[in-house]
Amino acid sequence: MTPKKPNEAIWSTSLDRRQLLKQLGIAGSLMAFGGPSRWAEVLAADPSSSNSATGEIPRRALGNTGVQVSALCFGGAHWGRIQDDADAIRLLHAAIDAGVNFLDNAWEYNGGRSEELMGKALQGRRQQVVLMTKVCSHGRNKQVAMQQLEDSLRRLKTDYLDLWQIHEVVYEDDPDRHFVPNGGAEALLEAKQQGKVRFIGFTGHKHPQIHLKMLAHEFPFDTCQMPLNVFDSTYRSFERDVLPVLTQRGIAALGMKSLTGNAEPIKQGIVTPEEAIRYVLSLPIASLVSGIDSPQVLRQNLDIVRRFTPMTLAEMDGLRTRVGRYAMDGRYELFKSTNRYDGRIGRDQHGIS
């Protein structure tokens, strides 16, 4: 099956200065020799990295795919908990109308409701967005994964996905489970060969070493999603250990949990939403997945992203230092050290109640 061609505006291959640096490999070199901080320094000095003058949502390259995605990605988990369908659909439409063109979802979110609701919302708008969902086989075989793909396509009312990612690679043996013969990795390739997905990736929130184990397979991942926030650089850091590898290899980094998943540091006044989001957007990522469950949260995040200017190296270092004493023990990133944030289906596959 040949998927319908997406909107040309999404698939634009024109490169601004920042994207050209990435295509030439300079960004990878900067990350290799100076880490994320060196990239932030270059980004801050580049006026083209910000759309604050125009008030538009910035677009960034999705790795080496040739696709442009909004720097803010609309998360499907929190959104799918909105009780009234009409309210949820209005919220997603408002985000798309504001310039958000990248949408996140997963087969298991809210028992499938998130995908079903998004499918309803995208009627007549499918070609305006880059649609991502995730397979939740959690180490089961290719047949389970491919059946979930059919479920997702049906719920989302589409005949193709722009991005299909393995969801929640969080247990030590998960990489081995996904890369066994007839496993999840084979499902990604088969789906891509069938034209049902354009790009493939994986996600996880537990430990950078698990991500590196996935990447060690030299598999043709297009994307990789991981927690990135100002606390991360001090504790089991994806920013320091995984982000440079992705940038060198041209794999699009997708950030999540910029507010640590439950916004406790915001509620306690340790950081502001703008500091938290601006910090992550100053890293070499393609997009930041954001949980949006109300018009208030949408307006807040849109305002921050529209006014975004990259942090300087000094600003980033200062913010890390300021929160350092709260970050060292991982108290605000319990998704890294406990299973209370792991999905039920994944826990079941590992015999964890």
Give residue limits of the domains in the chain. Answer: 17-349
Q: Which of 17-26, 93-102, 180-189 has the lowest mean pLDDT?
A: 17-26
Q: What is the pLDDT of residue 37?
A: 58
* Residues present in the chain in total: 353
More confident residue, 50 or 71: 71
Structure tokens at 289: 């997945």
Q: What is the pLDDT of residue 24?
A: 37
- For the chain, give me the number of helices (H) and strands (E)? 16, 10
Per DSSP, the three-state class of 346 is helix
Alpha-carbon distance 95 to 103, whole Å?
Answer: 10
Residue 215 has pLDDT above 60, yes or no: yes
Residue 26 has pLDDT above 60, yes or no: no
Binned at pLDDT 50, 70 and 90, residue 50 comes out as: low
Instruction: Find the DSSP H helices in the chain.
Output: 17-23, 26-44, 76-79, 85-97, 113-121, 142-156, 174-178, 184-193, 208-215, 238-241, 243-249, 264-267, 273-281, 295-306, 313-327, 344-349
Render pLDDT for 263-308 as a digit per residue (tens, 0 to 9): 999 999 999 999 999 999 999 999 999 999 999 999 999 999 999 9
> Rounded to 5 degrees, what are φ and ψ at 328?
-60, -35
Residue 101, sorted as left (phi over 0), alpha (psi -120 to 50) or beta, turns out to be alpha
Residue 124 has pLDDT above 80, yes or no: yes
Structure tokens at 11: 């698939």
Q: How do 223-227 and 252-256 pair as beta strands?
A: parallel
What's 66's DSSP letter? S
Q: Which of 44-48, 307-311, 330-334 has the lowest mean pLDDT?
A: 44-48
Q: What is the pLDDT of residue 86?
A: 98
Q: What is the pLDDT of residue 285?
A: 98
User: Closest by alpha carbon to 131, among 168, 164, 97, 92?
Assistant: 164
Percent of the chain with pLDDT over 70: 85
Query: Reduced to 3 DSSP states, what percent helix, strand and coil does the chain have, rounded to the nearest 5?
Result: 45, 15, 40
Q: What is the CA radius of gyration of the chain?
A: 19
Alpha-carbon distance 87 to 45, whole Å?
Answer: 41
Residue 72 has pLDDT above 50, yes or no: yes
More confident residue, 345 or 2: 345
Residues ≥6 apart with Cβ < 8 Å to 258:
228, 229, 276, 277, 279, 280, 288, 290
Render pLDDT for 311-327 as a digit per residue (tens, 0 to 9): 999 999 999 999 999 99
Q: What is the pLDDT of residue 54?
A: 72
Residues ≥6 apart with Cβ < 8 Å to 284:
22, 27, 31, 36, 39, 43, 243, 247, 253
Q: What is the pLDDT of residue 40?
A: 61
Structure tokens at 101: 């063109």
Hey, what's the torsion of the CAs at 129, 127, 246, 137, to 10 degrees? Answer: 90
The average confidence (pLDDT) of the chain is: 90
Residues ≥6 apart with Cβ < 8 Å to 11:
5, 66, 67, 68
More confident residue, 183 or 2: 183
Q: Which residues pair with 102 in a beta bridge?
A: 73, 130
> Rounded to 5 degrees, what are φ and ψ at 270?
-80, -40
Distance of CA 253 to the CA centre of its chain: 7
Residue 337 has pLDDT above 50, yes or no: yes
Residue 120 has pLDDT above 80, yes or no: yes
Q: What is the pLDDT of residue 20?
A: 37
Q: Check: CATH 3.40.50.920 for 17-349? A: no
